[in-house]
Amino acid sequence: MEQGYWHTPPADALFLHRKIAGLYLLAAKLDVTLNVRALLMPYLTGEPQTETAQV
């Protein structure tokens, strides 16, 4: 096998993956509906968020 071909991901990436999975399971258990696109678009496009949060 080629040296340095595969390595474990950084610990930060592993913990982030576990946190996201845990949040998904909790939301599924509580039967939550969430518009993830609206939450992530300001961070992906760099534009300020214009909508107000609805509770």
- Residues 12-53: tens digit of each pLDDT: 888 888 999 999 999 999 999 999 898 888 889 887 666 665
In a domain, 25, yes or no: yes
Both tokens of 21, joined, read 């999975």
Structural domains in the chain (count): 1
In the predicted model, what is the mean pLDDT of residues 1-13? Answer: 76
Give the Cα separation of 30 and 15 in Å (integer): 23
Find the farthest-apart pair of alpha carbons in the chain and give their distance in angstroms, rounded. 54
In a domain, 55, yes or no: no
Give the Cα separation of 54 and 47 in Å (integer): 20
Decide which of 55 and 6 is more confident.
Answer: 6
> Which pLDDT score is estimated for 9?
82
In a domain, 41, yes or no: yes
Both tokens of 30, joined, read 């509580």
